[in-house]
Amino acid sequence: MSVQGTVDPAEVAKFEAMAAEWWNPHGKFKPLHMLNPCRLDYITGQIAAEFGRDLTQPQPFQGIRLLDIGCGGGLLSEPMARLGAQVVGADAAARNIPVARVHAEQQALQIDYRHTTAEALAEAGEAFDVVLNMEVIEHVPDPLAYLTACERLLEPGGLMICSTLNRNAKSWLMAIVGAEHVMRWLPKGTHDWKKFITPDELQNLLVKAGLDPVDRKGMVFNPLTWSWSLSSRDLSVNYVTASIKRG
Amino acid sequence: MSDATDILIVGGGLNGPALGLALAQAGLRATVIDNRPDLARAEAGFDGRAYALAQASRRLLTAIGVWPAVGHLAQPIRRIVASDGRPAEGAAPFFLDFSSDEIEEGPMGWILEDRHLFAAFRDRMAAVPGLTHLPGETVVAQQTGPAGASVTLASGRVLTGRVIVGADGRGSGTATRAGIRRQGWTYGQTALVAAIAHDRPHDGVAHQLFLPSGPLAILPLPGNVSSIVWSERDDTARAIAALDDDDFLTALRPRFGDFLGAIRLAGDRFSYPLSLSLAERYVAPRLALVGDAAHGVHPLAGQGLNLGLRDVAALAQVLVAARRRGEDPGAPDVLDRYRTWRRGDATLLALGMDAMNRLFSNDNPILRLGRDLGLAAVAAAPALRRGFIRQAAGLSGDLPVLLTGRAL
């Protein structure tokens, strides 16, 4: 199997193993796999509503150019490509790119994976109909500068989906104590609670960045069904927002 | 030669076609591979096989467009009478009498002959785009990989897709090829199945008589005809099966009773050995099992097909939701959702029916007293009764959308 250009076969084997890890629902990325259906329900619903697409049709996102920031192994990029979107997956961690490429190739999906950042893409004048900005903002040093770059990446009328973690006692208990220390779903130190952002803070940042926030929902974990679902009321820990760039 | 589809369904009984229809109507491409030629089954006379369809199953058949073609051929069940009686002793002191008047959803179920149901499935499969029906084709090999799955037919033809579904019964070759082991046991019992014509109308009442040797179900068919499922110990059943028709009726009469007047045979007689067969897993990489391939149950209370259709409804909903989110329908986390949704329900029901049969197929006086008291308790408590009726009608539990009668 070739991964864009000349790559050492031992390297490819390593990437394949890492891709298998990314895509193992019980492995290191189990929390993302558990959250993924809920995130995808929100993303697909918002895109379908904004661009007038019918999700019961094959490849409903044909003709939509989409950027997945912080794409990792491609857990969101692949579903978007399967739905027909033209996908660019960007990750600041270089090692994720060949891993994501190997997996997309196995799945016979065309995805343009790049080792780059939102700021660099904006600088280069790239433009997208949809920007996915999922569980990234709580890791960046300057959220406003980052969201401004995301805004520049959108076509007029474009849609940005942004999810992150709320900052309160409950989110500290759930995301830091629960997820990192008790359940060990995430490595310790994955999140810095001080960088979490409340829904109102995010709303202000989005407006300052020139975007028009149109929707927000909580993503709530139900320990009985062991699954995540969207909630209109409970934004106390994980939440997701949709914003439009007015043209 | 290779053909691309989304879902490869092995088994053309009833669960396989039902799943294929549900998926194809929701925009997935499905291929149903049936090792039997279809004409023989649909155009045969009554072969004695009939199903007790629960309300939830009727709703699924409506959602997939099959019910309109068969509704008029189905006999509604207005009452179910379960009694604990020994032959020639009349009714036991306690018995259960469930009536559809006690719940709001209408009849408790319908009895429908296999030949009518299958013919309707066959016609519907021909009419729905995206569905390919391959009768008379046998799967001889299957492969699964990180991106897809394929099956090889006896003719050498190879079909490719994203997921293989085993709907091929309790001897499921799909499960065996995937290395899924089964546990199960035989009951030492055989079911004798026949259609019985009687002089008096049955008024839509289904009877379940718990006799010491095994249960006798009397299920109303349209007209003055009932289908019987008569379970006896293997050796007794063999002897009864060997009798000529007149002697068969002579043996049946004291068990059947005379409440429907004179009885006679209305078709051929069949016998099916009873066994329980549970697959150790319902899913494997890119593979899922439905119906008897996952859990072959004792046919007591006619729950086999109803249970299978619950699998079909859950799996169809999981696969369609995955497709609409852009997920790979064969990804392990997707198939795991089906497994967690179904495993509890199916195993519980299978073991519950098994326990019930073991309890009732017994002449031990202490057990007899215990079950009479148990039946009396159920008979006396209205909430418990409604729970029983709703359970029998398939209306309880975490219901998949198709079981509410809506398409996906």
Tell me the chain A residues in contact with residue B326 when contact means C-beta distances shorter than 8 Å. 40, 44, 78-83
The domain ranges of chain A are: 9-244
Q: What percent of chain B has pLDDT over 70?
A: 75
**For B99-123, what is the mean pLDDT?**
79
Is residue B21 pLDDT above 90, yes or no? yes
**What pLDDT sits at residue B41?**
58
Q: How many domains does chain B have?
A: 1
CA-CA-CA-CA torsion for B188, B193, B197, B199, nearest 10 degrees?
20
ipTM of this predicted structure = 0.89
Does the beta-carbon distance from A56 to B26 stay under 8 Å?
Answer: yes
**For B7-26, what is the mean pLDDT?**
96
pTM of the model: 0.86
**What pLDDT sits at residue A3?**
38
Does the beta-carbon distance from A79 to B324 stay under 8 Å?
Answer: no
Is residue B362 a part of any domain in this protein?
yes
By CA distance, what is A57's nearest residue in B? B27
Is residue B79 pLDDT above 70, yes or no? yes
Tell me the chain A residues in contact with residue B327 when contact means C-beta distances shorter than 8 Å. 36-37, 40, 79, 82
> Whose CA is closest to B139, among B32, B28, B29?
B32
CATH number at residue B108: 3.50.50.60
Residue in B319, B323, B333 to test binding to A, most A beta-carbons within 10 Å: B333
Q: CB of A79 within 8 Å of any CB in chain B?
A: yes
Q: For the segment A114-152, what is each residue's pLDDT rounded down to a tens digit?
A: 999 999 999 999 999 999 999 999 988 899 999 999 999
| φ/ψ (deg, to 5) at B123 | -65, -40
Nearest to B325 among A33, A37, A226 (CB): A37
Tell me the chain A residues in contact with residue B336 when contact means C-beta distances shorter than 8 Å. 25
**For B31-58, what is the mean pLDDT?**
78
Q: For the segment B298-357, what is each residue's pLDDT rounded down to a tens digit?
A: 655 456 788 899 999 999 999 999 999 999 999 999 999 999 888 666 555 555 555 555
State which of B245-254, B303-312, B395-404 shows the largest mean pLDDT. Answer: B245-254
**What pLDDT sits at residue B257?**
85
Q: CB of B321 within 8 Å of any CB in chain A?
A: yes
**What pLDDT sits at residue A215?**
97
State which of B28-42, B104-118, B274-288 shows the largest mean pLDDT. Answer: B274-288
Q: How many CB pairs under 8 A join A and B?
A: 43
Does the beta-carbon distance from A25 to B332 stay under 8 Å?
Answer: yes
Element (DSSP H or E) covering residue B239? helix B234-242
**For B106-121, what is the mean pLDDT?**
86
- DSSP, residue by residue, B77-104: E-EEEEE---TTS-S-S-EEEEEGGGST
Tell me the chain B residues in contact with residue A41 when contact means C-beta distances shorter than 8 Å. 325
Is residue B258 a part of any domain in this protein?
no
A205 CA: distance to closest CA in chain B (Å): 29
Is residue B263 pLDDT above 60, yes or no? yes
Q: CB of B258 within 8 Å of any CB in chain A?
A: no
Q: For the segment A3-61, what is each residue's pLDDT rounded down to a tens digit?
A: 344 457 777 777 777 888 888 888 888 888 999 999 999 999 999 999 999 999 989 99
Does the beta-carbon distance from A83 to B333 stay under 8 Å?
Answer: no
Is residue B218 a part of any domain in this protein?
no
**What pLDDT sits at residue A226?**
78
Nearest to B336 among A25, A55, A106 (CB): A25
Those residues whose C-beta lies under 8 Å from the C-beta of residue A225, and which sit 6 or more positions away, are: none
**For B15-25, what is the mean pLDDT?**
97
**For B86-101, what is the mean pLDDT?**
52
Q: CB of B129 within 8 Å of any CB in chain A?
A: no
d(CA B11, CA B29): 16
Is residue B240 a part of any domain in this protein?
no
d(CA B163, CA B147): 10
Q: Domain of B149?
A: 2-184+276-404
SS3 content of chain A, % helix, strand, coil (to 5): 40, 25, 35
Residue in B162, B317, B323, B324 to test binding to A, most A beta-carbons within 10 Å: B324
CB B372 within 8 A of CB B93: yes
B99 CA: distance to closest CA in chain A (Å): 34
Does the beta-carbon distance from A82 to B324 stay under 8 Å?
Answer: no
**For A86-95, what is the mean pLDDT?**
94
> Whose CA is closest to B32, among B54, B66, B7, B57?
B7
SS (H, E, C) B312-337: HHHHHHHHHHHHHHCCCCCCHHHHHH
Q: Which residue reads 């700021």 in tokens?
A: A119
Does the beta-carbon distance from B326 to A83 stay under 8 Å?
Answer: yes
- Residue B396 tokens read as 């309880």
Please, what is the average pLDDT of chain B?
A: 82
**What pLDDT sits at residue A1?**
38
d(CA B52, CA B282): 24
In this structure, which CATH number among 3.40.190.10, 3.90.1720.10, 3.40.50.150, 3.90.180.10 belongs to the domain A9-244?
3.40.50.150
Is residue B380 pLDDT above 60, yes or no? no
**For A198-212, what is the mean pLDDT?**
97
Does the beta-carbon distance from A25 to B328 stay under 8 Å?
Answer: no
Q: CB of A40 within 8 Å of any CB in chain B?
A: yes
Confidence band, pLDDT 50/70/90 cuts, at residue A165: very high
